[in-house]
Structure 1
């Protein structure tokens, strides 16, 4: 007497896996246009930018502020922050020993957010800083 194999259970399982894989595949793999008409963009802002800036939903806004050193005084930036984290959520943020600061924000919802940072003086030993804080801000409108 030989062994009798039934292909029905495996055939059904393979059909189910194939259907699930086809359903979960991205539209682009099937020759269809993706849902978004335009790819997301990265907007880069630096010390000299004043704004306003317009970002689309899904875009990233990167802030790169450069500190400097002169005559024994170190001018350092604080980590940039968003005034409305619902519209523009910070995903990264850091300061560096040389005074630089950076942050990346993701455009989450329609709205207007102001990104701010402050530049302060840090003196070398034996030096005095002027009592000056320099603000930096850019308004970003998310549409």
Structure 2
């Protein structure tokens, strides 16, 4: 390499520069600006038994809600499609309810904060049966960090 001149910086200067760059990049991910690319996103599955349970998720995680309805004594108990109280924090990417009343939904953790995922269980009577006037709520509070 003719005419190329390399300047040797002291190792202490190089290490200080790398440390400063890493320290200034970390707060961006901590404030909901971007997930940590070194961490793999997780899928958190929530079911009927998670009702009332607090959940902690990280940016980029997906939360899969799978609720199960039931049918007994001429009554079908079905769930509404799960929804998020704050779509900026937890954005629903898929969702729906099967004819038997079993809903599913996927929520993506977009930003830091707290949001609640809810659904309601209602009764549908078979012919000749009557339902009690009861609506059962399902709720999970999710903190995204």
TM-score normalized by structure 1?
0.75
Question: Shift of the alpha carbon at 1:90?
Answer: 0.3
Map 1:1-143; keep pairs closer than 5 Å. Answer: 36-49=37-50, 50-143=52-145
What is the number of equivalent residue pairs in this alignment? 109
Gaps of 5+ in 2: 1-35
CA shift digits 1:78-114 (9 cap, x unpaired):
0000001000000001101111011000000001000
Alpha-carbon distance in structure 1 between the residues aligned to 2:37 and 2:142: 21
CA shift digits 1:44-63 (9 cap, x unpaired):
00000032100100000000
Gaps of 5+ in 1: 1-34
Q: Cα RMSD (Å) of the superposition?
A: 0.8
Structure index of larger Rg: 1
Any idea what SS the aligned residue of 1:48 has? helix
Question: Shift of the alpha carbon at 1:37?
Answer: 2.6
User: Which runs of 4 or more aligned residues in structure 1 lie more than 4 Å from their structure 2 counterparts after TM superposition?
Assistant: none
